[in-house]
Amino acid sequence: MKMYDDYELIVIGGGPAGLGAALSAREHGLERILIVERDVELGGILNQCIHNGFGLHYFGEELTGPEYAARLIDRLEGQAIDVLCDTMVLELIPGEQGHTVRLMSMAEGYRSVGSRAVILAMGCRERTRGAIQIPGTRASGVFTAGTAQRYVNIEGYMVGKRVIILGSGDIGLIMARRMVLEGATVLACVEIMPHSGGLTRNIVQCLQDFDIPLYLSHTITKIEGRQRVEKVTVQEVDDHFNPIDGTEIVFDVDTVLLSVGLIPENELSRAAGVEMDPKTSGPIVFENGETSVSGIFACGNVLHVHDLVDYVTTESEGAGKAAAEYVLRCAHTSHKRTCEKTPYISLVKDETVTYTVPQRIRVQCVDDHVRVFFRVKTPYKTPRRIVFRDGDRVIASFRRPYMTPGEMEHVTLKREQLDEVLGDELTISVEEIR
Amino acid sequence: MFDVAIIGAGVVGCAVAYELSQYELRVVLIEKENDVAMGASRANTAIIHGGYDPEPHTLMGKLNVEGMRRCFKLCEELDVQHIKTGSWVVAFDEAQRATLELLLEQGIANGCEGLEILDGDVVRSREPNLSDDIVAALWIPESGVLNPWEFALAMAEVAVRNGVTFMPNTKVCGMSWQDDHYEIKSCVIGAGSCASANESELENGKHDTSCSAAKAAMPEKITTICSRYVINAAGVESDRIHNMVAPPAFDIVPTRGEYYLLDGTAAGRIVSSVIFPCPTCAGKGITVSPTIHGDFLVGPNSEVIGDREDTSVTRDALLDIAQKARQIVPNLNVRTSIRNFAGVRSNSTYGDFFIAKSATNFIDLAAIKSPGLTCAPAIARIAREILGEEGVLRERRKDWRGGRRIVRFKEIPEGERAAFVREHPLYGRVICRCETITEGEIVASMKREIPPVSIDGVKRRTGTGMGRCQGGFCGPRVLEILARESGHEPLNIVEDGCGSTILVGETKDPRSREVSHK
């Protein structure tokens, strides 16, 4: 039997995004909320991020990952939000009147639960060796940085003694330091791009402070070792990322940690028919985090990969509020989908910008302002302007002293600025200051 | 003393063990790795070949169709994942169209049924992603894909269930004929318990299959296995085994093939059947085929190599494979790759399967190359017949128990899942989220006749870690279950072969610190 209104809101994922969204939805008036978490406890990836540096923006103080998670989990106290841990959502089936979530756990068995609204907060996964096709043997000792982090910080095991890191993403940098602190030797961090993919503070605190060399425009071109990794060859790459002959450096290592990118975990979203953005690998969303499927919202790393959990929390609170408004509107009006037929403007990016979130703005649905997140394609060491144009007309312009692809940027567009847009497109570009 | 010793637990050795397990015989299956199907049987295109390709006068041509039909039947009987997809050989010009005619005739001579040559447009109406340049294709309806390691494993499981002794981690290093039996000198590699196994334990089939720590630290022990007959199913090592008892007759020419595995959820439905280019003297060429897991295999190339165990992948070969595959499927996106791997074919100077009684009580099932996976059940039938002629097969086992059923959560119909999980709660915990594999399936795999001893052993049995995250999420959980259920320390759980350690020590443990080189 399908009970599509078992819940007003089901939040898939109990990490920082899911927790923030559920708390915000509760605050904005929802009473029947369920959080489904696949791990045995809430908190998501924060639980294994035992380093500090979280919470400076949101809580105004520096916390570790578990502390940050605990702050959110503590807020659940007395909120009458249902939580199912150790539970996997197997399927999300969208419906006209509400959505069905098929979930399963040892404790609860296999169940179909209905909900008026759903928030996708499944986070992301790491790119693997297979995705980037590192040549060589199939030796053990090649880990994604996050998997290694789980073994070290949660399970209490070391994964290697002599380590090389491929990719300068934040988890790789954090793990470089972590491995050194646990007694391993980290010989190098190798990055194929001419610039780092991680936060500047992590380059300084995790590599420079520990004398770990960072090889930019280099990559691993061979892994050797029949059973366990024994040797790794690193080569410089040209502008087209092809290895340059004669630049080989051989490292005697037993471990390779990969920090080569994160991919939003959207298999449920795709299967549910949610429209996706190939640039973010996340859903295309409107100004309030609503996806192309009415009543399904997305926030956090499932939407686009963030650098800072603080911004995940802020974004999730927005999605939680929007989901609450959606449910309450459905309950109080005969027009179930007020915003659905509303015209929207698309954010279009030129070659200087990798992506924006949101991708679409329904101006009529904007209360006061919209925060637009984006990443630049190449680093800028001198000030630049971020310009929004409707055709040739400048709608808004912002100045940034420096920008880098490793650090997500955001700007705020005011409702009155959006009202100026006459066409159905708004173009964002990074320009020189003249 | 055994009646028959089978050297090599690849798909051929396992098929022979399955066949012989039906008779009152003492059979031992000797394998140098820690699991079955660790050589070419694990790293191939996983195709049940239709039988159009080998020339009719060869053993490959004679055995292919029989093997293909027996493969499909065995997959049904042993619950091995397989799909009868059919396959195509595509032609890009009129010269290649003429080749299709030859293949058609060859296929008919080999006993294939239902072959037909269709025009490019018809082909594209059934496989819309194929190139517009394809002018015609040969359709081979009786062919498909299977799970190759599960196929070998399923046959070995039934064999062990019916009394066959499986000896993993045992490398044959010499053999001598002693009046009425062979003495097989073997090097046993592995953990202490493994090395100290005595003869009676071996004969009882109680063999600890664990292996631990770094290979260097492992004790090795020479043991002697006595058997009246020896069957050489040693794959890429089969010439060396042959040469231990008979004059050299052929040399293995190890030929590596590299592959991409593309993620089905990201790549979309690229093809629904196996697509071959026209064959050349180098082999059947770069194919694009679906897998039973819903992903896609692209490959293999063909490169003669010096080291028989060198299954590394190379940048040049992968680029070449991608380029050739795009001739067949132009929009193929290798960015959806989730894994690359390579297998080493047992090609030989002989050019065909080398199946013969080469010495007293010694049978070669050697130089088994493609379509060896498909032919394995037919090759086993020949081995059984040779032993029959020798008078070795006394009577059939009356208590032989065949068949095999595996519970796969994904295959349980929607309406029955709730009741099943209520009754079997372990199936309610998903361990591998990419492939939806539950703890119940992993634990069940560990209770079967040949339990897994590695993370990849669990992967081959259940599918954990096969998907897009490649075990990043489930790896630590599988390790924990494997350690718990086997009673081994997590530190001793290996990724794949002996010595492929995962964890090197506990945190804050001086053992896990590197000794300073200064």
Tell me where in chain B the CATH 3.50.50.60 domain(s) lie: 2-40+149-250+351-389
**How many percent of chain A have pLDDT more than 70?**
97
Q: Are B462 and B445 in contact (CB under 8 A)?
A: yes
Q: Are A263 and A124 in contact (CB under 8 A)?
A: yes
pLDDT at A199: 87
**pLDDT of B395 over the 80 cut:** yes
Q: Does B334 touch chain A (CB under 8 A)?
A: yes
- What value does the mean pLDDT take over residues A309-318? 96
User: What CATH number did the domain enclosing A175 receive?
Assistant: 3.50.50.60
Q: Are A303 and A285 in contact (CB under 8 A)?
A: yes
pLDDT at B197: 36
pLDDT tens digits for range B21-40: 999 999 999 999 999 999 99
Examine the domain organization and report whether A28 and A109 are in the same domain.
yes
Examine the domain organization and report whether A269 and A121 are in the same domain.
yes
**pLDDT of B195 over the 50 cut:** no
For the ranges A386-400, B103-117, B265-279, the lowest mean pLDDT is seen at B265-279
pLDDT at B219: 61
The domain tally of chain A equals: 3
- What value does the mean pLDDT take over residues A27-51? 97
- What value does the mean pLDDT take over residues A64-69? 98
Locus of tokens 């070969």: B317
**pLDDT of A429 over the 80 cut:** yes
pLDDT at B513: 66
Residues of A in contact with B418 (CB under 8 A): 109-111
Amino acid residing at A222: K
Compute the distance between CA of residue B407 and CA of residue B463 in angstroms, rounded to an integer: 12
- What value does the mean pLDDT take over residues A311-339? 84
CATH architecture of B409-492: Orthogonal Bundle (1.10)
Examine the domain organization and report whether A61 and A111 are in the same domain.
yes
User: What CATH number did the domain enclosing A348 receive?
Assistant: 2.60.40
Compute the distance between CA of residue A165 and CA of residue A172 in angstroms, rounded to an integer: 6
pLDDT at B517: 46
Which residues 125-184 of chain B have a CB within 8 Å of chain A? none
Examine the domain organization and report whether A227 and A266 are in the same domain.
no
Q: How is residue B201 annotated by DSSP?
A: H
Point out the residue among B313, B417, B512 whose CB comes nearest to the CB of A161: B512
**How many percent of chain A have pLDDT more than 90?**
91
**pLDDT of A297 over the 50 cut:** yes
pLDDT at B313: 96
Determine whether the interchain pair A157/B498 forms a contact, defined as Cβ–Cβ distance below 8 Å. no
pLDDT at A5: 61
Last residue of a domain, one of A233, A260, A287: A260
Band of residue B280 on the pLDDT scale cut at 50, 70, 90: confident
* ipTM of predicted assembly, 2 dp: 0.93
**How many percent of chain B have pLDDT more than 70?**
92
Compute the distance between CA of residue A9 and CA of residue A6 in angstroms, rounded to an integer: 9
Band of residue A233 on the pLDDT scale cut at 50, 70, 90: very high
**pLDDT of A24 over the 80 cut:** yes
Locus of tokens 């297979």: A130
Q: Does A244 touch chain B (CB under 8 A)?
A: no
pLDDT at A434: 78
Residues of B assigned a catalytic role: 49
B148-163: string of b/e by CB count within 10 Å (b at 16+)? bbbbbbbbbbbbbbbb
Band of residue B203 on the pLDDT scale cut at 50, 70, 90: very low
Q: Is B2-40+149-250+351-389 a domain of CATH 3.90.1150.10?
A: no
For the ranges A9-13, B57-61, B205-209, B495-499, the lowest mean pLDDT is seen at B205-209
Alpha carbon of residue A146 to chain centroid: 14
B166 DSSP β-pair partners: B29
For the ranges A346-360, B216-230, B240-254, B297-311, the lowest mean pLDDT is seen at B216-230
pLDDT tens digits for range B127-165: 999 999 999 999 999 999 999 999 999 999 999 999 999
Average pLDDT taken over every residue of chain A: 94
Last residue of a domain, one of A321, A341, A361: A341
Compute the distance between CA of residue A423 and CA of residue A175 in angstroms, rounded to an integer: 47
Residues of B in contact with A140 (CB under 8 A): 494-496, 500-502
- What value does the mean pLDDT take over residues A19-46? 97
Residues of A in contact with B473 (CB under 8 A): 125, 147
CATH class held by domain B87-142+254-346: alpha beta
Locus of tokens 């080749």: B99
**pLDDT of B207 over the 70 cut:** no
- What value does the mean pLDDT take over residues B428-457? 97
* Sheet of A255-258, strand order: A142-144, A255-258, A162-166, A185-191, A214-216
Examine the domain organization and report whether A233 and A86 are in the same domain.
no
Examine the domain organization and report whether A72 and A196 are in the same domain.
no
pLDDT tens digits for range B213-261: 344 445 678 999 999 999 999 999 999 999 999 999 999 999 999 999 9
DSSP string computed for B331-385: T--GGGEEEEEEEEEEEETT-S-EEEEEETTEEEEE---TTHHHHHHHHHHHHHH
- What value does the mean pLDDT take over residues B297-315? 96
Determine whether the interchain pair B265/A270 forms a contact, defined as Cβ–Cβ distance below 8 Å. yes
Residues of A in contact with B499 (CB under 8 A): 226-228
Which residues, in sequence order, are CB contacts of A8 under 8 Å at separation 6+? A25, A30, A31, A32, A33, A115, A116, A117, A327
**pLDDT of A397 over the 90 cut:** yes
**pLDDT of A333 over the 70 cut:** no
pLDDT at B71: 98
Tell me where in chain B the CATH 1.10.10 domain(s) lie: 409-492
pLDDT at B509: 73
User: Range of A402's domain?
Assistant: 342-434
Examine the domain organization and report whether A201 and A306 are in the same domain.
no
Structure tokens at A221: 């071109």
Q: Does B213 touch chain A (CB under 8 A)?
A: no
Examine the domain organization and report whether A302 and A202 are in the same domain.
no
Examine the domain organization and report whether A302 and A223 are in the same domain.
no
Which residues 397-436 of chain B have a CB within 8 Å of chain A? 417-418, 420-422, 425-426, 428-430, 433-434, 436
**pLDDT of A119 over the 70 cut:** yes
Which residues 146-165 of chain A have a CB within 8 Å of chain B? 146-147, 150-152, 154-162
- What value does the mean pLDDT take over residues A180-186? 96
Last residue of a domain, one of A244, A260, A276: A260
